[in-house]
């Protein structure tokens, strides 16, 4: 396999500018992440209130969710936190008051989901529900045990209308995971009431913390209202009661560390066996410095860059066996290893033509046959338009690619390193095509098309309508409207906007790309890797 | 009295060593050199001991305790018959001073490597020995015999006559077993009762006697040798004043304290006594030496009719092989040298390496010796007589001595320096030992000055804590621990190394808590590591008073210091053996030694409470001449097991010898509940508060594990 020869000019002005812009973006993201980790839920906008929430938690001797996760994980385990900035740009607290991620417990790679009790008491809003459902989906498709660290005030009542119906799927998902043989373990540290009571209720294993866990359908006020009974919290849903009387608890934990200890022991006895193949060779670092990933992609997604420079800095030994290098050259396809796992890679160098679509469809079929996971690296401004291309059948060819992607059964990983415009997003296994994971660089932009093009299209349509009515189109008068629209599209196509709405599984530092994909590949291989085999490979 | 029995001239071809551990290896070594085949005997726990493999033939004994195995005369004689042995060497301890056994060996037609049964009997009972010594003109310490049924008033009168402080000693005993110091008359009765019980358990004879306790005296003993042709010589003296619980731990020759005139008189007294009982073989006459200069005086203590533990000291300064001499005279031969031909040169010091915790009242430590690297000491003037090797089990059934390390030098200072340095290089892991304390003793000014009396360790209790570690060295150690425990490495055998402790969302350091010894105190602290792109950041605190779990608070916790550090080693990393490494803290590089192991009982004790998937790891760090161990503790240690906390429990595994209370008894705080014998020592388990005994969970004679709860107490509440 040939090593990619890098032609990146690390001394050039373009590199320095891109790197500077990337570091600025990362600085902004780091600030947001620090606010999420700090707790409280204001996203850094109300530090005094956040500090008060955290102080209240500390005063009760309780731990922050990431501290709980730290005790649960094996010493030295990595923790890949998912969608930490979910909720950005929405009414919901940044991060959604829920921490989700992948880490190793007692030697078993698991999905972990933990409420942040300092954020609205762990109450669930739209973002929390979406994030929780996504964590369950990741557990299901990758066959990873799910551990929930629960301390939640239940539904965020002012937002009940937004979450009541979709939120119900959580309980269904838990039992479906169980039916699939994927263990579900819930450790309850505090309140887990009303609908929340079904989280322990539907789990395979339930650990309740003594003197702290409260699990009931209705608390004292509701019970008083409903049946005029005076009941105390311990009798209704205390940990001791559930451990000794109702039997809801399988284990009674003395304190938080004890609950986490029990959680570790449960995972330890699951007799868990990974079903996917392990790495086929030793992991070798890339030949080029991962730090240089900062300066490859411009902050302006309209500036093209060579995607092989990205591949060279994420795959083992920078070695890449390119498939059809001379045909359909704006789509780079080929074979590599990442963390010792074989991967097939489809990576864009800009726009897709018919040749690229057919090449991609053919390559995906080969990955299916070889049962090799596929990494899609998206930097795509869309499918080519124009008479020549329409007449050349670009819809048919694009359909072949989308067909191949849609019906591919090997796991997909999607990495957003620049633009993701138009149907190219679909052809390259965008979020709605169910890749196992989607990770995004900070410079990423996603929309039906670029803001400038959309603004131009809007103006042309307006001009045509005006002129059809026999009036003169005043371009200058239309300009503010066009600018407003363009900036709205720009704002709605940023990486933060996308991650805020869970269109990805998180924005990552480009320097972490290889590590993140390595961990994701490990997660994928907890389940079998199986290709579809209805036809032979179509040569296109 | 001259020779009353003659020893047949009978050649030894196959010798059974009725002993275990280092002395068995010692005897086997000389036999190998002389072309004599050897037979080892071993109890169940000793099946894997080194001496068993080193003998020509080994015979298993039934049983685990000393009484069931090595003290069982019938089994040992049967082993000799089955293995075709024609001689028995008893070593020291066990049956070595049992005259009936010696007689039985002789009666079975075997050669007994030791004095005649009559000489043994004469010296075995200390009271009898003193009569003979007095008759031979040897000065005695004031003392008195005790009848088995002495009344308390009579006992007190006798005590006054002997004078306080006094010692209660077992007549049949030795090695400090059954011995107690009594400083005032009100403690005499309990001491006598306890000594009788221990004497009965250890020696099968409850007889005890009182003796003046000569404080700040020196313990000096003379090595004598006799043959069956009537010759008796001495091989100079050994001073063994530094003792713990009346058991010697440092021995040397020549004596740094006895004057020349006292020594000359002691040599004469010792040979006179030996000749008076027709002594054949190796023996030691023990004296107390009190005072200095011309006023110095000495008293006879006892005669040991066997090879002593500390005989290598004499061998190192005389160049002789005492075991070879024993074999020669027991075969009817003459002493190889006459008195005039026996020369001494230089100075030799021996220390006894025990599996025990000097800072915790010498609590024995059991477990598996994980590392024992004698090869680290490559010095012709240093000798190691060890009974263990890496992988050996240290069981609660026998004396916890692991090895003796002996160094010879041209001067006392040279020998002490050489021995201290050898001990510092000896790598031993897996059990707690007194090695740090031994090094501290050898390097202390008091030892250097030779002001070593039997009170040396009570005058210098700080030496029992080992070397005190300055805060700056401790900090360095903790940084080394943090890096060693939180350094990148493959997890759980996965082929793909994950980036250790990698996080895509920062601000929450990974934590590991460790426990270390600071003097007699256990200190717990937490160390942190934050994953960082340019290298990790470590968080160090000298003491956090228990594991810290709130990882996000480290940055604002004044106890924690933030350090950037790297640890590099040429060797495969991490290794369970202490290996040289380079520690770089904030750009300053220094040499440290570091080993990371999974093998420490201290850590696994805590780990048992819940951390089965977490290896009970520990780190040993060496720097600035200080070696210290850091055991990983889990934050959930003890939680969920609160029911057991505070209940009276056994500190070590052992056998219950006495249950002092009944269910329903109301006891005061400090009252004895149960007496446990472990490692041949008595441990009294006491009530920690005033309470009513609501249940008793053990019975006399029961073998119990460590941490067994012996009774349930209901605290008496103040109204």
Confidence of residue A137 (pLDDT cuts 50, 70, 90): very high
What pLDDT does residue A163 have?
Answer: 87
How large a percentage of chain A has pLDDT more than 70?
100
How large a percentage of chain B has pLDDT more than 90?
48
Residue A32 CA to chain centroid, in angstroms? 17
What pLDDT does residue B635 have?
Answer: 79
Q: Does B643 touch chain A (CB under 8 A)?
A: no
The answer to whether A70 contacts B511, with C-beta atoms less than 8 Å apart, is yes
Q: Side-chain half-sphere of B69: how many Cα atoms within 13 Å?
A: 21
The answer to whether B635 contacts A64, with C-beta atoms less than 8 Å apart, is no
How large a percentage of chain B has pLDDT more than 70?
90
Task: Say which of A255, A264, A519 has its CB closest to residue B639.
Answer: A255
Task: Say which of A63, A75, A516 has its CB closest to residue B614.
Answer: A75
The answer to whether B500 contacts A106, with C-beta atoms less than 8 Å apart, is no
User: Which of A180-189, A311-320, B50-59, B501-510 has the weakest average pLDDT?
Assistant: B501-510
What confidence tens digit (pLDDT) does each residue in A465-489 have?
999 999 999 999 999 999 999 999 9
What pLDDT does residue B176 have?
Answer: 67
Q: Phi first, then psi: what are they for A355, rounded to 5°?
A: -60, -45
Q: How far B595 CA sits from the closest chain A CA (Å)?
A: 18
What pLDDT does residue B575 have?
Answer: 63
In B, minimum Cα distance to A341 occurs at B496
What pLDDT does residue B497 have?
Answer: 44
The answer to whether B634 contacts A522, with C-beta atoms less than 8 Å apart, is no
User: Which of A20-24, A491-495, B363-367 has the weakest average pLDDT?
Assistant: B363-367
Task: Say which of B488, B502, B636 has its CB closest to residue A261.
Answer: B636
Sheet containing strand A251-253, edge to edge, reads A79-82, A98-105, A108-115, A146-152, A184-192, A205-209, A251-253
Q: What is the mean pLDDT of chain A?
A: 94
Which chain B residues touch A75 with a CB distance below 8 Å?
Answer: 485-486, 510, 512, 614
Q: Where are the alpha helices (DSSP H) in A338-450?
A: 354-370, 387-391, 394-407, 424-427
What pLDDT does residue A351 have?
Answer: 93
Which chain B residues touch A81 with a CB distance below 8 Å?
Answer: 503-505
Q: What is the mean pLDDT of residues B38-64?
A: 95
Task: Say which of A84, A261, A522 has its CB closest to residue B505.
Answer: A84
Task: Say which of A67, A255, A516 has its CB closest to residue B551.
Answer: A67
User: Which of A321-325, B557-561, B599-603, B645-649 has the weakest average pLDDT?
Assistant: B599-603
Q: Which two tokens stand for residue A119?
A: 């954020």
Confidence of residue A532 (pLDDT cuts 50, 70, 90): confident
Which chain B residues touch A74 with a CB distance below 8 Å?
Answer: 491-492, 613-614
Q: Which helix (H) or strand (E) holds B419?
A: helix B412-425
Q: What is the mean pLDDT of chain B?
A: 86
Confidence of residue B616 (pLDDT cuts 50, 70, 90): very low
Rounded CA separation A352/A378 (Å): 11
What confidence tens digit (pLDDT) does each residue in B221-255 have?
999 999 999 999 999 999 999 998 888 999 999 99
What pLDDT does residue B645 have?
Answer: 37
Q: What is the mean pLDDT of residues A387-412?
A: 96
Q: What is the mean pLDDT of residues B24-53?
A: 96
Q: Does B492 touch chain A (CB under 8 A)?
A: yes
Confidence of residue B2 (pLDDT cuts 50, 70, 90): very low
Name the residue among B408, B230, B390 with its Cα closest to residue B313. B408
pLDDT at A323 over 60: yes
Contact B172, B108 (CB under 8 A): no
Q: Which of A39, A76, A82, A268 to mutate to test the interface with B (most CBs of B within 10 A)?
A: A76
Which chain B residues touch A516 with a CB distance below 8 Å?
Answer: 504
User: Which of A348-357, B280-289, B538-547 has the weakest average pLDDT?
Assistant: B538-547
Which chain A residues touch B536 with a CB distance below 8 Å?
Answer: none
Handedness of CA A152, A157, A161, A162 (dihedral sign): negative
Q: What is the mean pLDDT of residues A87-105?
A: 96
Q: What is the mean pLDDT of residues B333-343?
A: 96
What confidence tens digit (pLDDT) does each residue in B396-419 have?
888 899 999 999 999 999 999 999
What pLDDT does residue A43 have?
Answer: 83
The answer to whether B508 contacts A519, with C-beta atoms less than 8 Å apart, is no
What pLDDT does residue B652 have?
Answer: 80
Q: 């269109």: which residue's tokens?
A: A503
Tell me the C-alpha to C-alpha distance, in Å, between residue A462 and each of A451, A459, A465, A469, B647. Answer: 16, 5, 5, 11, 87
Of B87-91, B644-648, B692-696, give the range with the top mean pLDDT.
B87-91
Confidence of residue B715 (pLDDT cuts 50, 70, 90): confident
pLDDT at B151 over 90: no
What confidence tens digit (pLDDT) does each residue in B95-150 have?
999 999 999 999 999 999 999 999 999 888 777 888 888 888 888 888 888 887 88
Please count the residue pairs, one from chain A and one from chain B, whose beta carbons lie less than 8 angstroms apart: 141
Q: Taking the CB of residue B388, how many other CB atoms lie within 10 A of it?
A: 26
pLDDT at A136 over 70: yes
What confidence tens digit (pLDDT) does each residue in A212-267 have?
999 999 889 889 988 999 999 989 999 999 998 999 999 999 999 999 999 999 99
What pLDDT does residue B570 have?
Answer: 67
Task: Say which of B491, B508, B549 has its CB closest to residue A76.
Answer: B491
Q: Does B503 touch chain A (CB under 8 A)?
A: yes
Q: How far B607 CA sits from the closest chain A CA (Å)?
A: 11
Rounded CA separation B483/B530 (Å): 11
Tell me the C-alpha to C-alpha distance, in Å, between residue B290 and each of B258, B293, B453. Answer: 9, 10, 9
Q: Which two tokens stand for residue A254?
A: 């003395």
Which chain B residues touch A33 with a CB distance below 8 Å?
Answer: 505-507
What confidence tens digit (pLDDT) does each residue in A365-379 have?
999 999 999 999 999
Q: How far B495 CA sits from the closest chain A CA (Å)?
A: 7
pLDDT at B371 over 80: no
Q: Could you tell me where the beta strands, DSSP code E, fall in B521-603? A: 521-530, 537-540, 561-568, 579-585, 588-597
Confidence of residue B373 (pLDDT cuts 50, 70, 90): confident
How many degrees, rounded to 5, is the angle at CA A442 between CA A439 and CA A443? 115
What pLDDT does residue B175 have?
Answer: 62
Burial letters for A504-519: b for 16+ Cβ neighbours within 10 Å, e otherwise? bbbbbbbbbbbbbbbb
What pLDDT does residue B601 have?
Answer: 37
What confidence tens digit (pLDDT) does each residue in B459-477 have?
999 898 877 788 999 999 9
Which chain B residues touch A274 with a CB distance below 8 Å?
Answer: none
Q: Which of A58, A62, A258, A315 to mutate to test the interface with B (most CBs of B within 10 A)?
A: A258
The answer to whether A77 contacts B491, with C-beta atoms less than 8 Å apart, is yes
Residue B529 CA to chain centroid, in angstroms? 39
Tell me the C-alpha to C-alpha distance, in Å, between residue B631 and each of A449, A528, B527, B561, B599. Answer: 60, 40, 12, 21, 10
Rounded CA separation A365/A382 (Å): 22
pLDDT at A533 over 80: no
Task: Say which of A71, A268, A519 has its CB closest to residue B549.
Answer: A71
What pLDDT does residue B686 have?
Answer: 86
Q: Does B499 touch chain A (CB under 8 A)?
A: yes
What pLDDT does residue B426 have?
Answer: 83
Q: What is the mean pLDDT of residues A517-536?
A: 92
What confidence tens digit (pLDDT) does each residue in B422-434 have?
888 787 877 889 9
The answer to whether A77 contacts B501, with C-beta atoms less than 8 Å apart, is yes
Mention every residue, 6+ apart, whose C-beta is less than 8 A from residue A390.
none
């Amino acid at each position: 396999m040939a090593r990619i020869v890098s032609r990146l000019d690390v001394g050039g002005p373009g590199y320095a500018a891109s790197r500077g812009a990337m570091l600025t973006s990362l600085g902004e993201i780091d600030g947001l992440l620090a606010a999420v980790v700090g707790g409280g839920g204001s996203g850094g906008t109300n530090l005094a209130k956040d500090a008060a929430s955290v102080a209240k938690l500390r005063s009760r001797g309780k731990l922050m969710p990431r501290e709980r996760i730290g005790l649960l994980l094996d010493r030295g385990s990595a923790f890949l936190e998912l969608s930490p900035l979910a909720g950005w740009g929405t009414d919901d607290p940044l991060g959604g008051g829920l921490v989700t991620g992948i880490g190793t417990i007692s030697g078993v790679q698991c999905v972990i989901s933990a409420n942040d009790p300092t954020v609205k008491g762990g109450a669930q809003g739209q973002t929390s529900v979406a994030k929780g459902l996504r964590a369950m989906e990741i557990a299901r498709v990758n066959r990873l045990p799910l551990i929930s660290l629960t301390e939640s005030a239940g539904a965020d009542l002012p937002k009940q209308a937004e979450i009541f119906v979709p939120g119900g799927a959580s309980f269904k998902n838990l039992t479906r995971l169980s039916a699939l043989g994927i263990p579900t373990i819930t450790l309850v540290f505090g309140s887990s009431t009303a609908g929340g009571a079904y989280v322990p209720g539907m789990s395979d294993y339930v650990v309740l913390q003594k003197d702290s866990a409260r699990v009931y359908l209705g608390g004292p006020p509701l019970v008083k209202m409903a049946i005029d009974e005076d009941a105390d919290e311990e009798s209704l849903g205390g940990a001791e009661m559930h451990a000794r009387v109702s039997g809801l608890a399988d284990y009674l934990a003395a304190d938080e560390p004890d609950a986490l200890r029990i959680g570790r022991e449960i995972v330890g006895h699951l007799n868990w066996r990974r079903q996917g193949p392990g790495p086929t060779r030793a992991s070798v670092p890339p030949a080029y410095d991962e730090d240089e990933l900062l300066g490859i992609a411009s902050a302006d997604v309209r500036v093209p860059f060579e995607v092989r420079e990205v591949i060279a800095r994420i795959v083992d030994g920078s070695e890449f066996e390119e498939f059809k290098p001379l045909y359909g050259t704006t789509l780079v396809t080929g074979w590599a290893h990442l963390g010792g796992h074989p991967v097939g890679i489809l990576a864009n160098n800009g726009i897709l033509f018919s040749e690229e679509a057919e090449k991609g469809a053919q390559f995906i079929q080969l990955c299916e046959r070889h049962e090799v996971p596929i990494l899609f690296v998206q930097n795509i401004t869309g499918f080519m338009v124009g008479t020549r291309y329409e007449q050349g059948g670009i819809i048919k060819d694009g359909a072949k690619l989308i067909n191949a992607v849609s019906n591919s059964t090997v796991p997909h990983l999607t990495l957003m390193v620049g633009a993701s415009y138009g149907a190219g997003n679909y052809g390259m296994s965008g979020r709605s095509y169910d890749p196992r994971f989607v990770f995004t660089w900070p410079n990423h932009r996603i929309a039906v098309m670029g803001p400038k093009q959309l603004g131009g299209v809007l103006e042309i349509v307006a001009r045509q309508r005006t002129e059809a009515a026999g009036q003169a189109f005043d371009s200058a008068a239309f300009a503010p409207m066009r600018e407003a629209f363009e900036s709205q599209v720009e704002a709605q196509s940023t990486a933060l906007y996308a991650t805020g709405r869970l269109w990805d599984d998180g924005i990552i530092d480009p320097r972490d790309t290889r590590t993140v994909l390595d961990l994701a590949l490990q997660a994928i291989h907890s389940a079998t890797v199986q290709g579809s085999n209805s036809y032979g490979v179509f040569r296109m | 009295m001259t020779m009353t029995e003659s020893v047949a001239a009978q050649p030894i071809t196959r010798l059974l060593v009725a002993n275990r551990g280092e002395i068995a290896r010692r005897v086997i070594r000389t036999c190998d050199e002389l072309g004599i085949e050897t037979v080892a005997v071993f109890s169940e726990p000793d099946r894997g001991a080194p001496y068993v493999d080193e003998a020509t033939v080994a015979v298993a004994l039934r049983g685990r305790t000393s009484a069931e195995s090595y003290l069982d005369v019938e089994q040992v004689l049967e082993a000799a018959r089955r293995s075709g042995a024609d001689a028995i060497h008893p070593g020291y301890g066990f049956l070595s001073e049992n005259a009936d056994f010696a007689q039985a060996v002789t009666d079975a037609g075997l050669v007994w490597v030791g004095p005649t049964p009559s000489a043994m009997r004469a010296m075995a009972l200390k009271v009898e020995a003193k009569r003979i010594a007095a008759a031979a003109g040897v000065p005695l310490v004031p003392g008195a015999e005790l009848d088995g049924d002495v009344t308390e008033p009579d006992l007190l009168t006798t005590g006054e006559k002997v004078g306080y402080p006094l010692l209660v000693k077992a007549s049949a005993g030795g090695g400090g077993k059954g011995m107690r110091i009594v400083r005032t008359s009100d403690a005499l009765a309990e001491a006598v009762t306890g000594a009788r019980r221990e004497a009965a358990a250890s020696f099968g004879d409850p007889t005890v006697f009182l003796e003046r306790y000569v404080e700040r005296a020196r313990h000096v003993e003379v090595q004598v040798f006799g043959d069956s042709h009537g010759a008796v010589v001495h091989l100079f003296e050994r001073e063994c004043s530094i003792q713990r619980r009346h058991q010697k731990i440092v021995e040397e020759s020549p004596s740094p304290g006895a004057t020349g005139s006292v020594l000359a008189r002691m040599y004469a007294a010792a040979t006179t006594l030996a000749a008076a009982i027709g002594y054949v073989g190796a023996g030691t006459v023990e004296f107390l030496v009190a005072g200095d200069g011309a006023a110095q005086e000495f008293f006879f203590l006892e005669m040991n009719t066997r090879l002593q533990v500390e005989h290598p000291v004499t061998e190192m300064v005389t160049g002789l092989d005492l075991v070879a001499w024993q074999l020669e005279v027991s075969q009817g031969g003459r002493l190889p040298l006459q008195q005039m031909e026996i020369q001494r040169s230089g100075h030799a010091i021996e220390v006894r390496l025990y599996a025990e915790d000097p800072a915790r009242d010498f609590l024995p430590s059991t477990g598996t010796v994980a590392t024992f690297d004698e090869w680290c000491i490559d010095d012709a003037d240093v000798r190691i007589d060890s009974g263990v090797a890496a992988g050996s089990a240290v069981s609660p059934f026998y004396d916890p001595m692991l090895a003796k390390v002996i160094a010879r030098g041209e001067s006392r200072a040279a020998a002490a320096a050489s021995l201290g340095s050898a001990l510092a290089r000896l790598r031993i892991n897996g059990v707690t030992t007194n090695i740090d304390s031994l090094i501290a003793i050898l390097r202390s000014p008091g030892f250097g000055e030779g002001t070593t009396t039997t009170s040396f360790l009570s005058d210098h209790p700080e030496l029992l804590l080992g070397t005190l570690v300055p805060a700056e060295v401790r900090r360095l150690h903790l940084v080394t621990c943090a890096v060693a425990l939180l350094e990148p490495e493959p997890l759980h055998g996965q082929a793909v190394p994950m980036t250790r402790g990698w996080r895509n969302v920062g601000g929450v350091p990974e934590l590991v808590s460790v426990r270390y010894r600071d003097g007699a105190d256990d200190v717990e602290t937490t160390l942190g590591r934050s994953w960082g792109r340019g290298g990790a950041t470590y968080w160090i605190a000298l003491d956090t008073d228990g594991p810290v779990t709130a990882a996000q608070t480290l940055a604002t916790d004044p106890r924690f210091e933030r350090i950037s550090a790297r640890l590099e080693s040429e060797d495969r990393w991490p290794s369970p053996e202490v290996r040289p490494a380079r520690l770089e803290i904030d750009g300053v590089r220094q040499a440290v030694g570091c080993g990371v192991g999974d093998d420490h009982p201290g850590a696994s004790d805590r780990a048992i409470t819940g951390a089965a998937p977490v290896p009970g790891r520990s780190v040993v760090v060496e720097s600035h001449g200080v070696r210290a161990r850091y055991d990983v503790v889990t934050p959930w240690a003890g939680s969920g097991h609160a029911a057991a906390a505070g209940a009276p429990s056994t500190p070590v595994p052992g056998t219950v010898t006495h249950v002092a209370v009944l269910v329903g008894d109301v006891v005061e705080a400090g009252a004895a509940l149960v007496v446990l014998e472990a490692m041949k020592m008595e441990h009294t388990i006491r009530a920690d508060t005033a309470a009513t005994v609501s249940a008793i969970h053990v019975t006399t004679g029961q073998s119990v594990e460590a941490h067994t709860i012996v009774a349930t107490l209901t605290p008496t509440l103040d109204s």
